[in-house]
Structure 1
Amino acid sequence: MPISTFRITRFQFARDRVIGDSQVRADDVNVAALELISESGEVGLGFIQTLFHPLPDQDEIEAVFSNEVWPTIKGERAIGLVHRVNRPRGGNQRAYSLPFHEALQVALWDLAAKQADMPLHRLLGSRRDRVRAYASGLDFHLSDDAFCALFAHAASMGYSTFKIKVGHPDFSRDLRRLDLLKKVVPDGSQVMIDPNEAWNSKEALVKLTAIRDAGHDLLWVEDPILRHDFEGLRTLRHTVNWTQINSGEYLDLSGKRVLMDNFGTDILNVHGQVTDVMRIGWLAAELGIPVSLGNTFLEIGVHMAAAMPEVEWLEYSFQNFDHLVETPIEIRDGYAYAPNRPGHGLVLSEEARRQWARPKRLERSQLGSAPKNDRLPLLP
């Protein structure tokens, strides 16, 4: 049935821990739920997220959505919209004024899969319903004690692969973090590092060599240098032959294509835009380049991961969002499981709508305590 209306619910709450990397940090959550509702009552759910600055008031979000997005989807069928190809020209090639892009794709695919009465990963062509998950700390701003507690907890949950943030101006701190990680996770664990573009290409070579010489084996290094330094990335791929380069996180769909055309990565990093991920995933398969799913809101990426043949890893970073939905994605013994419920399997919690909806923007000091996180104990 065609899409007949929409609903937006704005949320704002404190995080249960600071998250961040060598370039950024975030202390609160700013997100809005987008629900697309069909004439027969099915609901497609996506999330509008900003990491560092609060979203505007809910009525402003609704006004912008009504003006920029709604005219293009009202009365349309979701299954047709998810496959639509646009040819951007001139002034129509621009981003939305608010970050609707991913939320819209997720909500449309959710609605399309529900109307087909299929789990999203099955609609996307999956042959499995689980993928390996690695524990990612978003840990750059944590104390050493909190860092150790987080990864020891992850190891106790059955994770065997861990990614930490590096790129500190004092390189000895990066080496110390790797030493600490080795002490709190089981022998034989796999480790990745993520400098978040903190290095240049020669610096990356020197530091990756020092990490290897200090006795640390790396499964991959993620975004070691600037995203558009395709020559530098290509050189690192050939020079640093003891680990892999994982890149593409910060590039849009066309940028990822250029990255692969320039042989700039061993593993392509994608996120939560379902249509974009599947399109670039098909190209990566043609080129024989493996894909990894980086952070996706509420782990929605497990559906794309299960549907693409060369995806081995899904990132899980202990972000405190589970209370927003009735039943979160199951993660057990180092695997994330794609729900076999119709759609992507996530339904907005009415309790969360009552308790955590914030139609008006609040100051950080007004947010109070963070919601309880059942997947992560209180850190030191």
Structure 2
Amino acid sequence: MRIVDFRITRFQFARDRVIGDSQVRADDAHVVALELIGEKGASGLGFAQSLFVPMPAEAEIERIFRFEIWPSLEGEQPLALVHRVTRPRGGNQRAWTLPFHEAIQVALWDLAAKQAGMPLWQMLGARRNRIKAYASGLDFHLSDADFVELFGHADALGYTAFKIKVGHKDFERDLHRLDLLQKVVRHDAQVMVDANEAWSPKETVMKLTRIREAGHTLLWVEDPILRNDFEGLRQIRQAASWVALNTGEYLDASGKRALMDADAVDILNVHGQITDVMRVGWLAADRGVPVSLGNTFLEVGVHCACALPDTEWLEYSFQNFDALVEEPIAIRDGIAIAPDRPGHGLELSEYARRELHRPDVLAASELGAPPISKPAPVSTAG
């Protein structure tokens, strides 16, 4: 089955809460759906998003995609592309104008698995179809009341592990948030903190010590310092050995390999570029380094999480994206379940095509109320 066409659909809508960390915040969703279409009509679906600025108008997105990316996909076999090893050189070693790397990998794997007639997790070699999910708040900019409501809701849904954002200029506020979390979730909850590079190595050790002295036990600290400060990360591992160090989120595949070479990570954080994740996951397995799946769009990372050894956790952050697809990834009692449907199991919803499609850039004031969930299908009966 060769790739013969593509379809671009632009979405823009309000989020149901502000999301962010110690460095960034986002109020709106700017998403593009990419569908790669095979010669027999099957399609593979991937998503690209911009966190901070609107994507260009749909016609411009399509023009850029057709010029920069389509020549490398047209007429190719998805099963060949997902395994192809290349080494860009010279002027070919450059960033694309728009963030399509993850969307392309996900769409290709979706199409390849459909061609094989297998759920993606099985095609990736998984022997299981479920993984523990932890509740991640992206909560730095929430009020205390909204913070408590979000994590109380997550606890009521059956989540047993919770990650909060830290890195505030006033460290007492970080401690206060941990105190609030302790009061609102189950007594045996596992807790993680994510500083998004807000600290220095020495500062990290001092603050982790303060957290422990305040009575809080952490499963891991995530990205406490600059991503490429491998020596600082290694020092944190040694000086704060009571807390696992989860990092690698901001590094590409080569950077993740260098991070492991430097012995500067306890748990390697990977994301949604499936080919890269599986290759890096192989290296991590060879070295005995556990992997965790950070945020992946609509939790498509559940397939990689199930396939990689020594992987225990998938991040879920309660973003209101479910309306984009007919059947989101199921999470029950804190367990994410990979679909049994061929491919990755996500199909663009008719509701999204009809109600959330935004060919042109809109001002935030024009977006209206955020989509909370996909409504019941509209009857077409006369």
Rounded Cα–Cα distance in structure 2 between residues aligned with 1:186 and 1:300: 28
Structure 1 moving runs of 4+ over 6 Å: none
1:282 partner amino acid: W
- Percent identity between matched residues is 68
Q: Give 1:373 shift.
A: 4.0
Rounded Cα–Cα distance in structure 2 between residues aligned with 1:372 and 1:192: 27
Per-residue Cα deviation, 1:302-331 (whole angstroms, up to 9, x for no partner): 000000011100000000000100000000
**2:86 is the alignment partner of 1:86:** yes
**2:363 is the alignment partner of 1:363:** yes
**2:297 is the alignment partner of 1:318:** no
Q: Give 1:25 shift.
A: 0.3
Q: Verify the 8 A CA contact 1:137 1:163 in the aligned structure 2.
A: yes
Rounded Cα–Cα distance in structure 2 between residues aligned with 1:358 and 1:136: 28
Alignment partner, residue 155 of structure 1: 155
- Counterparts of 1:77-156 in structure 2, within 5 Å, are 77-156=77-156
Q: Give 1:365 shift.
A: 1.2
Q: Give 1:364 shift.
A: 1.1
Rounded Cα–Cα distance in structure 2 between residues aligned with 1:195 and 1:243: 14
SS in 2 for 1:59: helix
2:289 partner amino acid: I
Rounded Cα–Cα distance in structure 2 between residues aligned with 1:19 and 1:74: 37
Q: Verify the 8 A CA contact 1:4 1:39 in the aligned structure 2.
A: yes
Per-residue Cα deviation, 1:275-328 (whole angstroms, up to 9, x for no partner): 000000000000100000000000000000000011100000000000100000
Rounded Cα–Cα distance in structure 1 between residues aligned with 2:200 and 2:351: 47
Rounded Cα–Cα distance in structure 2 between residues aligned with 1:153 and 1:43: 36
Alignment partner, residue 280 of structure 2: 280
Alignment partner, residue 227 of structure 1: 227
Rounded Cα–Cα distance in structure 2 between residues aligned with 1:156 and 1:290: 28
Rounded Cα–Cα distance in structure 1 between residues aligned with 2:197 and 2:359: 36
- Counterparts of 1:189-268 in structure 2, within 5 Å, are 189-268=189-268
Rounded Cα–Cα distance in structure 1 between residues aligned with 2:50 and 2:304: 22
Rounded Cα–Cα distance in structure 2 between residues aligned with 1:134 and 1:330: 14
SS in 2 for 1:314: strand
Q: Give 1:356 shift.
A: 0.3
CA RMSD of aligned residues (A): 0.7
Alignment partner, residue 379 of structure 2: none
Q: Give 1:138 shift.
A: 0.3
Per-residue Cα deviation, 1:118-145 (whole angstroms, up to 9, x for no partner): 0000000000000000000000000000
Rounded Cα–Cα distance in structure 1 between residues aligned with 2:199 and 2:360: 40
Instruction: Work out the number of aligned pairs and report it.
Output: 374
Rounded Cα–Cα distance in structure 2 between residues aligned with 1:372 and 1:212: 37
Q: Verify the 8 A CA contact 1:298 1:329 in the aligned structure 2.
A: yes
Alignment partner, residue 329 of structure 1: 329
Per-residue Cα deviation, 1:162-221 (whole angstroms, up to 9, x for no partner): 000000000000000000000000111100000100000011011000000000000000
Alignment partner, residue 35 of structure 1: 35
In structure 2, runs of 5+ residues without a counterpart are 375-382
* TM-score normalised over the length of structure 1: 0.98
Alignment partner, residue 76 of structure 1: 76
Rounded Cα–Cα distance in structure 1 between residues aligned with 2:295 and 2:87: 29
SS in 1 for 2:12: strand
